[in-house]
Amino acid sequence: MSAADGLVVTGISKSYGPTKALTSVDLTIRPGQVVALIGHNGAGKSTLLRALSGAEVPDTGSITVDGDSTPFTSPKDASRAGIACVYQELSLVDELTVAENLFLGTEKMSGPLLSRRAMNARADELCKEYGIPARGTDSVARLPVAQRQLLEVVRAINRDAKYLLLDEPTTALEQDQVDNLLDIIRKLASEQGLGILLVDHKLDEVFAVANHVVGLSGGRIVLDGDTGTVDRDAVVTAIVGEHSTSASDLAMIDGAPVEDAAPLSEKERTEHFGKPVLEVDDLHCNGLTGITLSVRAGEILGIYGLIGSGRSRFLKTIYGAEPIGGGSITFDGQRYAPKRPGQAIAKGVAFLSEERKFDGFIPQMTSIENVVLPVLGRYGKAGILNWRALKGSARTVLDQVTIRGDVENPITSLSGGNQQKALFARATLQAPRLLLLDEPTKGVDIGAKREIYGIIRTLAREKGVAVIVVSSEEEELTGLADTITVFRNGHCDGAVFDRDAIDPTQLREMAWADAERPAVG
């Protein structure tokens, strides 16, 4: 190996307006090396990945691949240089077969025609080699998540990648699937000489597979060392702050209050808010274990946790989109066990998904049509809809959230912030008792964030709605929520903290308390 070999990042910085996402970041990945990249939510990991994969152009600094420092202006440039990135959001095309996905953009040809036989045969070989129980002719839509995740990795390998970037690849996997993927990562590095950057927050996985670990905090490198010389306490300290509790102490705490953050008693919560709307006791389902929490009328309860801690799955379970395995749930004092979202909506539950573009709205419909979808039954008689009344109600709630754009056009014509506000208008029209929000300000600008915060507070304070907010931004929760609880590895013990009694560093400490255990998705 020559001194020039490697993927070398030198002094790259990236800002979005006044926000500095990366500041003077240096990073080196050598062929045959697995480098783990760790950091709390919002530390800059995703921005760094986008820069390395050509999806973002750094403001300053350089990226050199095996001695070539030609700047990347697009993902194609990075791909030509031998860099492949597998993001959390899988990019496989459901409508295509396994082979078609593996060779998308690099199809094998026989003269002017596609050589499907050759592609299918090679796909069969790759699936067998990497332990994917599928054939090249199988539809990707029928594959479970774990197989899709592996298929993304295999697709990158099939494109002759020299450097592989993996963004939280084990989040949705069960433990045996995690073990299989880690084995593949080891072999790719040791036997094929790939340089691998692994974004991961599970310390067991980091120390099991990585040669080197790099920590990001606030867009800066705060840790850089070989896993053989860096201990776990140093890793946690680098991520959550210099004055944090050690990793071993955190593991012993196992969800108990950290230092000055004392949980609120039920009496204190009763004095501040109304009666409980939702009460969950020892909920078990699909990787969630022992979830215990409650939220009261007029209360904004924030849920914090690492990626894969089970926050989104919990919301989907309450919304009837995931099955309930065990435990008890009461809604306004009555047993509650929705088997589908329609039952949850009928009870007075509204839900805003994290991925609004995929399952939040119907893109071909106008904003007005999307807003009225959950309440069509209220405006029908003998099978005939009263569209005048429907539109009037929709316009009223859309005006309340100050939509900028034509609500008679497809909702996709609006900006991201206005799309999200339209979904809040839909929730308002439902007049819910409980509002579930999964990353409600993801992908919106600062101005839209402030407006969304105002909408949430109005629903809680003036309408008495019980609100549960999942957010990866610690400052967002401590600024918006009344009370905060923490999910770790699919578990929540019910400890609730007043937002004034806990700070972002303490939230990170509690979220990382069990980071050494496998997460659940």
Q: How confident is the model at residue 202 (pLDDT cuts 50, 70, 90)?
A: confident
Higher-scoring residue by pLDDT: 232, 282: 282
Whether residue 2 has pLDDT greater than 50: yes
**Three-state SS for 277?**
strand
DSSP secondary structure letter of residue 375: G
pLDDT at 262: 52
Minimal CA–CA distance to 146: which of 120, 124, 169, 122? 169
Q: Are 492 and 285 in contact (CB under 8 A)?
A: no
User: What average pLDDT score do residues 6-11 get?
Assistant: 96
- The mean-pLDDT minimum among 32-41, 114-123, 253-262 falls in 253-262
- The mean-pLDDT minimum among 96-110, 167-181, 351-365 falls in 167-181
pLDDT at 381: 78
Q: Are 120 and 100 in contact (CB under 8 A)?
A: no
DSSP secondary structure letter of residue 424: H
Please write the tens of the pLDDT for every residue from 93-108: 989 999 999 999 888 8
The two beta strands, 163-167 and 195-199, are parallel
Q: What is the CA radius of gyration of the chain?
A: 24
- The mean-pLDDT minimum among 71-75, 80-84, 258-262 falls in 258-262
Q: Are 280 and 466 in contact (CB under 8 A)?
A: no
User: What average pLDDT score do residues 207-227 get?
Assistant: 93
Distance between CA atoms of residues 450 and 439, nearest Å: 14
Distance between CA atoms of residues 37 and 3, nearest Å: 23
Whether residue 254 has pLDDT greater than 70: no
Q: How confident is the model at residue 483 (pLDDT cuts 50, 70, 90)?
A: very high
Distance between CA atoms of residues 444 and 356, nearest Å: 12
φ/ψ (deg, to 5) at 299: -100, 140
Distance between CA atoms of residues 452 and 271, nearest Å: 27
φ/ψ (deg, to 5) at 209: -120, -25
- Give the DSSP letter string of 220-275: EEEEEEETTT--HHHHHHHHH-TTSPPHHHHHHHTTSPPTT-PBPPHHHHHHHS-S
Q: 218: Cβ–Cβ under 8 A, 6 or more apart, which residues?
A: 23, 43, 44
CB burial of residue 50 (10 Å; 0-12, 13-18, 19+) = buried
Higher-scoring residue by pLDDT: 242, 66: 66
Q: Are 130 and 142 in contact (CB under 8 A)?
A: no
Whether residue 253 has pLDDT greater than 50: no
Whether residue 43 has pLDDT greater than 60: yes
State the average pLDDT for the chain.
86
Distance between CA atoms of residues 24 and 260, nearest Å: 34
Distance between CA atoms of residues 244 and 412, nearest Å: 44
CB burial of residue 493 (10 Å; 0-12, 13-18, 19+) = middle
- The mean-pLDDT minimum among 56-60, 196-200, 447-451 falls in 447-451
**Three-state SS for 373?**
helix
pLDDT at 193: 94
User: What average pLDDT score do residues 370-377 get?
Assistant: 89
Please write the tens of the pLDDT for every residue from 300-331: 999 999 877 889 999 999 999 999 999 999 99
Whether residue 14 has pLDDT greater than 50: yes
Other Cβ atoms less than 10 A from the Cβ of 347: the count is 16
Please write the tens of the pLDDT for every residue from 420-461: 999 999 999 999 999 999 999 887 766 778 889 999 999 999
Whether residue 510 has pLDDT greater than 60: yes
pLDDT at 266: 61
The two beta strands, 163-167 and 113-114, are unpaired
pLDDT at 267: 60
Helical axes 232-240 vs 504-511, angle rounded to 10°: 150
The continuous run of DSSP H or E covering 34 comes out as strand 34-39
pLDDT at 345: 94
As beta bridge partners, residue 113 has 110
Other Cβ atoms less than 10 A from the Cβ of 71: the count is 10
Percent of the chain with pLDDT over 70: 90
What amino acid is encoded at 301 in this protein? L
Q: Where are the strands (E) in 424-465, listed by range?
A: 434-438
Q: How confident is the model at residue 366 (pLDDT cuts 50, 70, 90)?
A: very high
Paired tokens of 119: 């592609």
Q: How confident is the model at residue 140 (pLDDT cuts 50, 70, 90)?
A: very high
Q: 380: Cβ–Cβ under 8 A, 6 or more apart, which residues?
A: 386
pLDDT at 265: 59
Distance between CA atoms of residues 213 and 225, nearest Å: 6
pLDDT at 264: 55
Alpha-carbon dihedral angle through residues 97, 103, 108, 113, given to the nearest 10 degrees: 50
Q: Measuring CA to CA, how many Å separate 139 from each of 97, 119, 148?
A: 4, 14, 11
User: What average pLDDT score do residues 256-268 get?
Assistant: 48
Q: How confident is the model at residue 243 (pLDDT cuts 50, 70, 90)?
A: very low
Distance between CA atoms of residues 95 and 55, nearest Å: 25
